[in-house]
Every structure is written in structure tokens, then in C-alpha cells.
Amino acid sequence: MSAHTANLKTSVLEDLRASLGNKVTTDDAVRSARGHDRSHLPWEAPLAVVQCASTEDVSATLAICSHHGVSVVPIAAGTGLEGGANSTAGSICLDISGMDKILRIEADDLDATVQAGVMKSSLNEALAQHGLTFPVGPGVDASVGGMASTGASGTTAVRYGTMKENVLGLTVVLADGTVIKTGGRSRKSAAGYDLTHLFVGAEGTLGILTEVTLRVYGIPQASSVAICSFATLEECIAVVQATLESAVPISRVELLDDVTVDAVNRYSSLGLPVMPTLIFEFEGSPANIAEQSETVRGLVSQHGGIGWDYASDPEQMARIWRARHDALPAYTALIPGSSTWSTDVCVPVSRLAECITLTKADTDNEGVLAPIVGHVGDGNFHLAFVLPPGDDDVLAKAAAINNRLVERALSMGGTSTGEHGIGLGKTASLVKEHATAIPVMMAIKNALDPQGILNPGKVLAAS
């Protein structure tokens, strides 16, 4: 370590401690725990972790780091899958998980404002007291700020949209510590540039989200789930397309390939036929649900579906969705000591069956275990490479398959990521996808973060 580097580390730590006191920690266990997300991608323990409780804490931290030219990497729940929250040595980890206050719930206007570290589960517990819910986001519990930063979605996007459609306004701290507010509570506005949606999906590279105003929804009167199986993936997708064309307002439709079904059967004792499977969810009044489910059941029958296991009991429904959301641990249970590398793409629904079928053939040809699940009402599916411990050959094959998957999706008019984000793992994919727009993205990045201290190396690799 050079004398300049040592002096810089000393100076920035002294200034942070003078401003934020015991919110700054260099404890090895904390630095290790807060230095990475759930991805397989590389990380290093940060220089220190600042455990923020307010927008003012974030602002003070960024002002100091900007003065010293020191990088800042934000993290909340750490549930990301593309390395977006992974730290590097010498950086400051900005831990906003302690920013967990629900600031306002307006039941009459169907909106709420929360600090960015609030977990989706905590938000829904508070909303439930008002007969409300926030259905958007991944199955895994995640922070609202993290979901907004990655433009997350999940199983309910087919009905409720992604975070981009559900964030109304933000409080954002810029690279130099300046605090701005974007958007508001109104349902529409024609006033100025849409800065809110510039920061949603920017993964902390343009500013740090500290407060988020969201659309919220009334809790449906009733809901039900139906499960059906098919001989082929193509038949599954054909039913989904027919359902969408029939305008049935399904709230979820999930595809599980045969490998996934086998894994969740073993892990969660579901007992489903080991075949490509669809899980539908319907919401509304009991009469509406009955009509919707019968329409879809008819479409399933027309396309060769097998079975129609129907459930309206909340406990049974929760068990089914819990098993679906436990797919990743179910996959790792297939190979003792393994880890997973999760990736996703999204294509027009008309190309989905072709994309999934070609991808499955690719993994089979390479002899790589990579189960598939999909939020197929959106054309989005996920591939989870199951990586045996220490097997570099499988890791190399997975990287090659992932590259081909992205190329395939882009050639079909799709995107390199439907919901995981770019992070560290897909910076090259972003260049392929948006080559002509990269200079504009870089211009925005350089204007808002001229020193390149905000989550460097993420989204735009040259940043």
C-alpha cells in the first residue's frame, strides 16, 4: 500500500467518524457480511461500512467521499443476483438496511412513502391494516430501495407491472451529497424531465435512493390457484398466449420446467407430475374468479393440458407459492455443496417457447444442470446454473451458455435482463443491447457523477 493510499484511507475514515460517529464500522465481520449480494460474482471487503439511518446520513457520507474521491457502494437487503451491491477494496459500503421507517400511508389515494431500507414484507404488514397491499417485486423478501434501484418485478408483473410502473416519486442523494426530490404523489404529470424513472433501474450509479413513494393496491376480495401439466414447453407457452389474447386478468402465471418440478417436489414435498407445469393465480370476486378459471381451464384442455389442481384455501395457496419461491434452495439441494448462478432474459411472448426450447437444448447438449422457471405472461424466464463445488469446467460452460442465451434473446427483439439488472455480470450484454445509446448513458453518468464514485464498474463498465 502506497503512503498516499494509506493517508487517503486514514483521512476519509477520520472525516466519516467525525461526522457519523459509531455509524461507521471497520469490523471485519460486518465488512464481509455487507460487501456482497447473493450472486456468484467477485467482491472484496470494503474499507468501512456506514450504517445509515436517514437521508442526512447518506448525504453526509457522500459529501465526504466526494471530497476525498472515494467510491461508495450501496446495499440494503443484499438479495441481488448480478453483483450490483458487491464492494471493492478501498470503497465505502453505504448500508441503508437500517433506513426502515414507513413514513406515510394514504389509503384514500392508494400511495405510500417509505425509507429505502424498508422490506417488502414489513410494508405489506403495515398496509394490511388499511386493507391494502404492495404486490410488486420478487418472491424473495427484498428492500423497496433495492427493488426500485434494479427496476425489479416478479411473479405479479403480468397484472401489476414492474417497479418502474409503480414508483411515483423519490428522494435521491447525488454524488456530492446534494439531496433532490423527484416525481410526487399525483398519478400523472407533464412537468419537466422524468427524473424519477431515470433513477429507477440505475442501480445506484447515478444517485442513492433514500425514500420511495409507491402506488399501493386494495387487497383482492378472493384469490385462487390452479396447477396444470403439459407434455412440452411449447404447449405451456401456447396456453399462456391464448390466455393473454382472451384478456383474462390473471394475476400470475408461472412456468416450471420438468427439472424444476422435480427439485421442488423433493424440497417442498409437492407431489406434482414431473412435467412442464403452469401455475395460474386468479383474483377478484368469487364469481369473477370462477369465470376466469373456467375460461383458462378450457384453454388448457384445448392445448393438451393434464390435470387441473385447483386451490382457494389461503394456507394451501401460500404453500404452493412458497415452494415456487424456494426454487433456488431446491436446486442447490440437488447437488450437495453446490451454488447457483441465476440469469434471466425477456423476449416477446410470441418468441418465448422458441427461446426456452433452444436454451434447454443448449444446457442439455453441454451436460449442465440448469433448471428453468419463468414469469411467462411477460416473456421473462430465469435459468439457474447449478454449480458443483470447485468445478471450473461447469462454470466455463455456464458462462458460454449465458452468453448464447443473451445473444438469442437480443436476436428475438428481447432484452438481456428482464428483472435482475445489469450489475457486474451483464455490462457487456448492455453494450450489445444498447450500443447506440451507451454514449448518452455515459454522458448522463459523467454529468451526475463526474468522479465516478457511485457504484463504479456496475451497469456501465467504463464508469
pLDDT in tens, 130-142: 999 999 988 889 9
Strands 72-75 and 92-95: parallel
Q: In one letter, which amino acid is 53?
A: A
Contact 163, 147 (CB under 8 A): yes
Residue that the C-alpha cell 427484498 belongs to: 142
CA distance 294 to 289: 8
Whether 101 contacts 118, CB under 8 Å = yes
Q: Is the pLDDT of residue 463 over 50?
A: no
321 by Cβ neighbours in 10 Å (0-12 / 13-18 / 19+) ranks as middle
Whether pLDDT at 165 is above 80: yes
Res 189: pLDDT: 87
pLDDT above 70 (res 4): no
Per-residue model confidence (pLDDT) at position 445: 98
Question: Has residue 60 got a pLDDT over 70?
Answer: yes
Reading the block at residue 104, the C-alpha cell is: 406515510
Model pLDDT, residue 462? 59
Q: What are the structural domains, with CATH classification, of the chain?
A: 3-98 (3.30.43.10), 102-218 (3.30.465.10), 222-325 (3.30.70.2190), 335-436 (3.30.70.2740)
Structure confidence at residue 461 (pLDDT): 82
Q: What is the CA radius of gyration of the chain?
A: 23
Three-state DSSP class for 377? coil
* CA atoms of 140 and 152, how far apart (whole Å): 11
Assess whether pLDDT exceeds 80 at residue 3: no
**pLDDT beyond 90 at 181:** yes
pLDDT band of residue 211 (cuts 50, 70, 90) is: very high
Report the C-alpha gap between 438 and 430 in whole angstroms. Answer: 8
Cα–Cα distance measured from residue 215 to residue 207, given in angstroms and rounded to the nearest whole number: 22
Residue 224: burial class (beta carbons within 10 Å; 0-12, 13-18, 19+): buried
Going by pLDDT thresholds of 50, 70 and 90, the confidence category of residue 302 is: very high
pLDDT digit string, tens, across residues 266-289:
999 999 999 999 999 999 999 999
Q: What tens digit of pLDDT does each residue of 105-138 get? A: 999 999 999 999 999 999 999 999 999 999 998 8
Strand order in the sheet with 92-95: 24-25, 48-51, 92-95, 72-75
Distance of CA 179 to the CA centre of its chain: 25
Pairing relation of β-strands 72-75 and 132-133? unpaired
Instruction: Give the whole-number percent of the chain exceeding pLDDT 90.
Output: 92
Q: How far is 422 from 455, CA to CA, in rounded Å?
A: 12
Position 360 scores a pLDDT of 95
Measure the N-to-C terminal CA separation of the chain; round to a whole number of Å. Answer: 24
Q: Are 250 and 155 in contact (CB under 8 A)?
A: no
- Per-residue pLDDT tens over the stretch 416-462: 999 999 999 999 999 999 999 999 999 999 999 999 999 999 999 85
DSSP secondary structure string, 88-132? -TTPEEEE-TT---EEEEETTTTEEEEETT-BHHHHHHHHHTTTE
Which residues fall within 8 angstroms of residue 365, CB to CB, at 6 or more apart? none
